[in-house]
Structure 1
Amino acid sequence: MSVVLTTSRAFSSCHAAQKILTDAGHQLKMLTPQKPLKADELIHQVKGVSAMLAGLDEINADVIRAASPTLKIIARNGVGYDKVDLNTAKENNIRVTITPGANSLSVCELAFSFITGLSRRIHLMDKSVREKSWQRVSGIELHGKTIGILGTGAIGRHLAIRCQSFGMRVLAYDLFPSQELIEKYGVEYITDLNVIYSQADFLSLHLPANNETRHMINQSTIAKMKKGAFIINTARGELIDDDALYIALKQGYLGGAGLDAFVAEPFLDERFFELENVILTPHTGAFTKEAADKTLIIAAEEIVRALSGKENLFQIN
């Protein structure tokens, strides 16, 4: 009997995903940590397991070697895999899979919530009512505004469609433009990021973190943006230089920011806690019941495929 280690809290309540694995004859070893596990925490849990259904845990070379030779697959219940050492996994013949598209709608809806929330300063007015000061704060309409969407994969695509329906002009950057977005929704693809920076009232990030994108939002790029523009990040914290963003928010050059992804989590940079033009959420873009169930079911199915010797649908290494 193969042992499957699960580290997602949501897995404990997803009976459909559990059933997929147990019906296939696998034994479950369920962990329910309050936050993603660090490598030194995982090392003691992986010995003897055949598969991992993992969240945003740190699965480095030491963890993978500790799990070898029994580990056959690391199934991420999400699309990000920067916390997984792909090279070491490949060297040890361990498959790594993701769950593309399963949580894209939920992440998109959070990004759009940041846009509407920041445009009307909802967080400030909620605070004023609770403090009995009854202070109305003037906001802006979205109709006629321009949004720049960097990355039009599943999440960016959903966001473009919703912004267009609100009467926004949608500028987009992607190495592989979507003809559907162009022809059906009037999305304008721009190859020069500087054009998007200079014209966007809102900038929403939906790119992976790599050498090319790390700190792409920095002092120089922020200076090219409109005064009063807003930045939304539901992708990866590495995309933004926090020091440059803080200064721009503190000085009022940027209108605000909605941040759901951070380099270090939990996010402990108290400078941002004092700012009234930023909304912070604890990497919760995919944290809906619907998204959690879909990602866990797909990840469980990938584990069953791997442990039965079949090809995986979403293997990345």
Structure 2
Amino acid sequence: MTGRIPEPALGLLREAGQVWAWDGDDPVPIDVRDAQLADADGVVTLLSDRVDDGFLDAAPRARIVANVAVGYNNIDVAACTAREVRVSNTPGVLTDATADLTMGLLIAATRRLGEGERLIRSGTPWKWGMFMMLGTGLQGRRLGIVGMGGIGTAVASRARAFGMEIVYHNRTAVASDIEQLLEARRLPLDELLATSDVVSLHCPYSDETHHLIDAAALATMRRSAYLVNTARGPIVDEAALVDALDDGRIAGAALDVFENEPDVHPGLVDLDNVVLAPHLGSATTETRTAMAELAARNVIALLRGDEPPTPVN
């Protein structure tokens, strides 16, 4: 285990075999990691681990890499497949937590909660005023969801409760009963960007979605629109986003993920019209425990000769 995970998941693994686990919150030193990988039949990794040829060279016996995350862009899946190493992830269990955080960020951005808290904490004198920190209501506004998978659908359901209209962009249409339930319409990306009051990103990260939201995409959005990203940082060109926010080409943004995480573009930090969170999408005790337990079950199943519950390759 390359990082510290909740004890219930460790317990499952200890019942199944011999376990070595790095117990620090700082990254495991490479030499320490590689010494343990040499004898490992299965590896549990975190999103901060880069699993590439060097990693796999150090783990010649490994039969599975179980990533404690729904995304797996930190793993060279092709390299794993070439070596007959299975890869698994943890979809489903973090859907509600990430959808909840998305709505929290959306409300924080549109109601300027970050600005308000900073004002209070700064000690700056203030008093109530009719036009003080006016934000934007959600009722009757259009939410454009890019990536209508499990998390995107959960966000849409929550947004409907706030009275928002739902449009989405996906490679394929979602099931008709879900469309009907959410009164959602599928749109081309350009039309979604041009007509939405809030754009929320929930697509997976890939070469195809790298900088999907670039200067051109941001220029398509309304000047009154907001961008929310709880998917993966590199989907957004942060430099272009800083320019758009600074110039008032969009009204604001809320980000839980960053292009060069944990580094954040300094221009974002300096802007009042952006809400920043340190990758908290799945950060509830219940969700992180469920993610780690699912990763453990993937390892145990594979090493017992069964199919992992949530395989990637």
Instruction: Measure how far apart 1:154 and its partner are.
Output: 1.1
More displaced stretch, 152-161 vs 205-214 = 205-214
- Change in Cα spacing, 1:248 to 1:51, as seen in structure 2 (3 Å) is same
Partner of 1:281: 277
2:70 equivalent in structure 1: 79
Letter in 2 for 1:222: L
Q: CA RMSD in A?
A: 1.8
The amino acid across from 2:233 in the alignment is G
Q: One-letter code of the match for 1:180?
A: D
- 1:62 matched residue in structure 2: 54
Q: Deviations over 1:56-111 (max 9, x none)?
A: 1111111011111x111110111111111112211222110011111111111111
Offset at residue 169 of structure 1 (A): 0.5
Report what 2:25 is aligned to: 33
Q: How does 1:198-217 map to 2 (within 5 A)?
A: 198-217=194-213
- Residue 240 of structure 2 corresponds to residue 244 of structure 1: yes
Counterpart among 15, 30, 33 of residue 23 in structure 1? 15
Q: TM-score, normalised by structure 2?
A: 0.93
Distance change >3 Å, CA 40–CA 140, structure 1 → 2: farther
Give the alignment of 1:169-248 within 5 angstroms: 169-176=165-172, 177-190=174-187, 192-248=188-244
Q: Which amino acid aligns with 1:187?
A: A
Question: 1: distance between equivalents of 2:145 and 2:32?
Answer: 37
Task: Please give the residue correspondences for 1:44-193 in structure 2 after superposition, counting only pairs within 5 Å.
Answer: 44-56=35-47, 57-68=49-60, 70-130=61-121, 131-134=123-126, 136-176=132-172, 177-190=174-187, 192-193=188-189
Residues 90 and 39 of structure 1: CA distance in aligned 2, closer, same or farther (over 3 Å): farther
Q: Counterpart in 2 of 1:291?
A: 287
Q: Secondary structure of 1:162's partner? A: helix
**Contact 1:152–1:178 (Cα < 8 Å) also in 2:** no
Instruction: Give the partner amino acid of 1:79.
Output: V
Q: CA deviation at 1:40?
A: 7.7
Any gaps of 5 or more consecutive residues in structure 2? Answer: none
> 1:142: how far off?
0.4
The whole-number CA distance in structure 2 between the counterparts of 1:29 and 1:268 is 30
TM-score for both structures, normalised by structure 1: 0.91
Runs of 4+ in 1 over 4 A off after TM superposition: 37-42
Kindly indicate whether the alpha-carbon contact (under 8 Å) linking 1:39 and 1:58 is maintained by their aligned counterparts in 2.
Answer: no
Q: Give CA-to-partner distance per residue, 1:150-194, whole Å, 9 cap, x none.
A: 11111101000000111101101112323232111211111x111
Q: Percent identity?
A: 29
State the secondary structure of the residue aligned to 1:159.
Answer: helix
Change in 2 beyond 3 A, CA 1:211/1:140: same
CA contact (8 A) 1:75 1:302 kept: yes
Q: Offset of 1:24 from its aligned partner? A: 1.6
What is the alpha-carbon distance in structure 2 between the residues aligned to residue 282 and residue 19 of structure 1?
28
* Helix, strand or coil at the partner of 1:79: coil
Number of positions where the alignment pairs a residue of Structure 1 with one of Structure 2: 306
State how far apart, in whole Å, the 2-side matches of 1:182 and 1:30 are.
45
Q: Distance in 2 between matches of 1:140 and 1:263?
A: 27
Partner Cα distance (1:214, 1:173) in 2: 16
Unaligned runs of 5+ in 1: none
Judged with a 3 Å threshold, the aligned counterparts in structure 2 of structure 1 residues 64 and 146 are, in CA distance, closer, same or farther, namely: same
Distance 1:289 1:38 in 2: 26
Deviation at 1:263, TM superposition (A): 2.2
| 1:41 Cα deviation after fit | 7.6
1:313 match: 309
Deviation at 1:237, TM superposition (A): 1.2
Tell me the distance in 2 between the aligned counterparts of 1:72 and 1:205: 33
8 Å Cα contact 1:39/1:59 also seen in 2: no
Q: Secondary structure at the match of 2:102?
A: helix
Q: Report if the CA contact (8 A) 2:297-2:309 is conserved.
A: no
Measured after TM superposition, the shift of residue 291 of structure 1 is: 0.9
The answer as to whether partners of 2:140 and 2:163 remain within 8 angstroms in 1 is yes
SS of equivalent residue, structure 1 residue 74: strand
